[in-house]
Copies of this chain bind each other. A is one copy, B any other.
């Protein structure tokens, strides 16, 4: 089964936003055996959308479209598709209207004419309920050609892909069975990982494909079998392969499938009935934000201190002001005192800390921009690492945050943290 993706919006064509929807849609389709043969971005005009649809439908029968479903004037996807599929009129979709009214009501917003128009659905399509926003998805079909329009807001698009599009595609088409196993790793660069597992990778059976999916939190490995229905024992076979893999990179495997560094650390703390606190300088709250992005984090996370100024490091965490003067705030001594201070002051079992130079200013020859010290304090010890991820501020903050979560994970599992 093949599909194309069409993203609509002048803001994409002028480079104001990066289209991340196409990539996420392709990932989801791929997981269910649908391969994407083309991606396109077209402007907010009827001609551009119609022209793209004509061309895309020559190569496949399914086009997934995002963007241009908002309530304002420049959003013309709905009307263009209605005409393309021969709609004669728009019908007020009562359940959609009720949902929009409720959603806005909760936010204290009265229903406007523009919002009401979002509940108008062309008579030739089905509305896909969008509990994540106001614009419903639209499912068009004619002569075996399918066009599915989704809102451009990534969060709403993802909601509709998962709750409506994939289940409906499965009903309409016999999608080949695809088996995926994701292995979440941390603390190892893509090239180092590739070398460490090279022999294992070379020995994989031909029907198992390995992909490397690097991100700021670490590299995800994915083992895929694209004809899983013809390999009854694929799950067992993968399990055998994972047993080998675990021996090659034992301390780098965080978990599988949906597991993330944050979720695994949370689980480890929960099982041990242990509590956690953060003491952050250069990461500025990002470690705490990652931890609390996990539902149920209150079971183990008591809180944290963002000690951005040196005063606060001394006042709230009990860091020695003499040591700040002597070693600088970005130092082993200070970051370890921050972690220990958080453990003591916030009365928790484990604490993590960061202190660094996120940049772009503040670097020196000995401590260039990107230098970050991170520390973990446990009931038994405190240890720290010096990192440097280069001179991109956002990258440095995020990678340092993930690094310290990985150190905490290693401490919790009793692995060597070298």
Contacts and interface: CB of A to CB of B under 8 A. Distances in A.
A112 to B, nearest CB: 5
Interface string A36-61: 11111111100010011001000100
B22 A36 contact: no
Given A37-B13, A288-B306, A388-B107, A293 B394 contact: yes
B18 A35 contact: no
A70 B214 CA distance: 9
A212 B67 CA distance: 12
A18 B115 CA distance: 32
A287 interface: yes
A172 to B, nearest CB: 21
Given A284-B289, A303-B307, A359 B13 contact: no
A242 interface: no
Interface stretch (A90-98, A188-196, A409-417): A188-196
Interface size class of A (residues with CB under 8 A): 35 or more
A160 B297 CA distance: 38
A343 interface: no
A346 interface: yes
A301 B39 CA distance: 43
Given A285-B289, A301-B308, A306-B278, A15 B25 contact: yes
B30 A74 contact: no
Contacts of A195: 112-114
Interface stretch (A119-127, A309-317, A320-328): A309-317
A15 B24 contact: yes
A380 interface: no
Interface string A51-84: 1100100010000000000111111000000000
Given A24-B15, A109-B189, A284 B312 contact: no
Given A71-B191, A74-B212, A286-B285, A393 B295 contact: yes
B289 A286 contact: yes
Nearest to A103: B390
B292 A306 contact: yes
A23 B27 contact: no
B303 A306 contact: yes
Nearest to A290: B285
Given A41-B39, A112-B192, A214-B153, A308 B297 contact: yes
A48 B43 contact: no
Contact of A16 (B17, B112, B213, B360): B213
A395 B278 contact: no
Given A24-B15, A288-B306, A307-B303, A42 B48 contact: no
Given A43-B37, A288-B284, A70 B212 contact: yes
Nearest to A196: B112
B292 A361 contact: no
A15 B22 contact: yes
Given A302-B311, A306-B278, A306-B303, A190 B286 contact: no
Most buried by B among A44, A48, A210, A288: A288
A28 B14 CA distance: 9
Interface of A: 10-20, 22-30, 35-44, 48, 51-52, 55, 59, 70-75, 103-104, 106-107, 109, 112-115, 132, 134, 153, 155, 180, 182, 189-192, 194-195, 201, 209-214, 222, 224, 278, 280, 282-289, 291-293, 295-298, 301-309, 311-312, 316, 346-347, 358-361, 370, 387-390, 392-395, 397
